[in-house]
A and B are shown apart, each in its own frame.
Chain A
C-alpha cells in the first residue's frame, strides 16, 4: 500500500482534471469531503456522486483504478457497517432474532455511511491519481504561504515532503534487499510469538536506519553541490496558474455543493 502512495498512484494521461491547478484540486477535495458529511438525504448524496462522476469522467482515469482505491479500506467499511447495523437502535425493527435487532433506520444509516466512506476514498484518490507528488507538494506549499508571515518554514516543509516521497521506493527496495540478505544468513521472520517476531525485525531496521543516514549525507552533498541555499533567491520552473479550466471546475463544484448545503438547511429547518 505504501508503494501505491508513493508512485503506483499517479495515472499519467493528459486530461482536463490532470491540468487543473493542484491548489484548486486540493481545495475541491477538502470541500468534497465536507460536502459528503453534510449530505444526509439521498438527493444530496446523489449530488456528491454526480460530482465524483464528473471528476472521474473528465480525468480519463480507468474506472477500475478508482474503484480499486477502496480495496485497502474495504475491511474498515465492512467492519463499521456491521457495527452500525447491530448497534443503531432507533427506528422500527424490521428483523429481530435472539439478541439482535435491526431497524429500518439502522439499514439506512449503514448504507449511508458505507457510501460516504467509499466516495471519500474515491474522491481523494482521484486527487493523487491525477496529480504528481511534486505538483501536490507545490500546491500545499503555495496554499500554506500565508503561514510564512508567522515564520513557519513552508518551503522547507514542502521540500522535506517531496524528498520523502522520492525516497520511499528507494528505501522499499533497500528493505527487500536487507530482508533477503538476513534470510540468506539464516534469519527467521515467520515463526515465534509476537515478541520474538518484533525482535527479528531489529536486524532489518538497524541496517536500514544506518543506510538512510548515509543516503541523507550523500544527498546533502549533492544538494550543496547544486547550489541549494534554502528558499532565499529561489525561483520555480512551474508557476502555478489558475486558468479558465479551474474557474469552470470551481463553478460547477460550488453549485453542486450549494445544493447540498441548501438541502441540509431545509432538512434542519423544515419550516423554511
Chain B
C-alpha cells in the first residue's frame, strides 16, 4: 500500500515577506528560488526510506510538505489517498504522519516527560486511561520506561530526542518522519536514536522516512532518495546509490567510510568490489583477498 506520494511537487518560500501566494507576487523568481523543484517519488507502507542531501538541498522542506505544514505550489502530495491540499483532511493526515524535528528542545511542550508524551493523544481526543497506556507503550518503544516522571531538561540530547519520538509515537502514526533528528546529537545519542528507529521499522512495521546528511545513517535504509538543489537526482538501494562515488562527490556529498576505503583500494588496483556499506563488510572482503 502506498503511504506517501509526491507528484511533480514544486515549492518556494515567499522571500519577500508578502503573504499573498507566490503566483500573485510580481517579482522575478529565478529557478534557484525554488526550494523543491518537480520532485516525484512514492513511499510504500512499511518501507524505510532515507532522503539524503546537503544543506539547502530542500530535504527539510520535503519533510514539512509531507504532513501539510507547507503546501506545494505545483503538483500534489497524497498521503494514504488524501491530498494535503484538502484542509479538512489535514487533521487525519497529521494523525498518520508524525514528524520528529532537529532540535529536541524546541519540540517539547511540557516539562515532565509523561505530560509531554500525552500532548499528542490529548489533542486527538483519546480517553484518559488509554492515553496513560499509550504513554507507557511509547516509552517502552524508545527504551525509556524509567523516565515517565523525569524532567526533560535533565535528560541527555539522545534521551530528549527519544522522548520526542515517543511523543509522536503516542499518536500511533503510520509514518514516522525524522527531519535531521540526529544532527544535533553526539555519536552515542545518534546511535540511541537510530537503534530505536530501526527496531520500530523492523519489529512494528513502522514506515520510516529518515532525512539526513549522514551517509552512514542513510545506508541503513531500504531505499535512498538523493536531493540536490531542490531536485531528485538519484534514487535506489544504498548499494546502488553509493556506487556512484564520483557523482555524489560532484554534488558535495560523500559515501560511507567503508565504501570510500573500498573505492580507494580499487583505484589503487586492488581487486575489490566497491559496493560495500559497513566496515564489517569491508573487513570481510579484505579478508577474502588475503
Binding site for B on A (CB under 8 A): 7, 12, 132-134, 159, 162-163, 165-166, 169-170, 215, 218-219, 221-229, 233-239
Contacts and interface: CB of A to CB of B under 8 A. Distances in A.
B110 A235 contact: no
Nearest to B66: A225
Contact of B118 (A224, A228, A233, A237): A237
A134 B128 contact: no
Contacts of B98: 225-226
B122 A234 contact: yes
- 4 interchain residue pairs of minimum CB distance: A222-B107, A218-B106, A237-B118, A237-B131
Interface string B187-220: 0000000000000000000000000000000000
B122 A237 contact: yes
SS of B interface (majority): helix
Interface of B: 64, 67, 69, 91, 94-95, 98-99, 101, 103, 105-112, 114-115, 118-128, 131-132, 135, 149, 151-153, 167-168, 171
Nearest to A238: B128
B48 to A, nearest CB: 20
21 contacts: A134-B110, A134-B115, A162-B109, A163-B109, A221-B101, A222-B101, A225-B98, A225-B99, A226-B94, A227-B95, A227-B120, A234-B123, A234-B125, A235-B122, A236-B128, A237-B122, A237-B128, A237-B132, A238-B118, A238-B128, A239-B128
A238 B135 CA distance: 12
B110 A229 contact: no
A227 B68 CA distance: 11
A229 B91 CA distance: 9
Given A166-B110, A166-B111, A219-B106, A226 B125 contact: no
Given A134-B112, A226-B98, A237-B122, 7 more contacts: A215-B106, A218-B101, A218-B106, A222-B101, A225-B168, A226-B167, A234-B122
Contact of B123 (A7, A133, A226): A226
Instruction: Say whether chain A's binding surface is mostly helix, strand, loop, or mixed.
Output: helix
A133 B124 CA distance: 23
Contacts of B112: 132, 134
B204 to A, nearest CB: 19
A38 B18 CA distance: 59
A170 B99 CA distance: 22
Given A12-B149, A237-B135, A239-B128, A227 B101 contact: no
Given A12-B149, A223-B109, A237 B121 contact: yes
Nearest to B111: A166
Nearest to B114: A237
A218 B107 contact: yes
Nearest to A214: B106
A226 B167 CA distance: 8
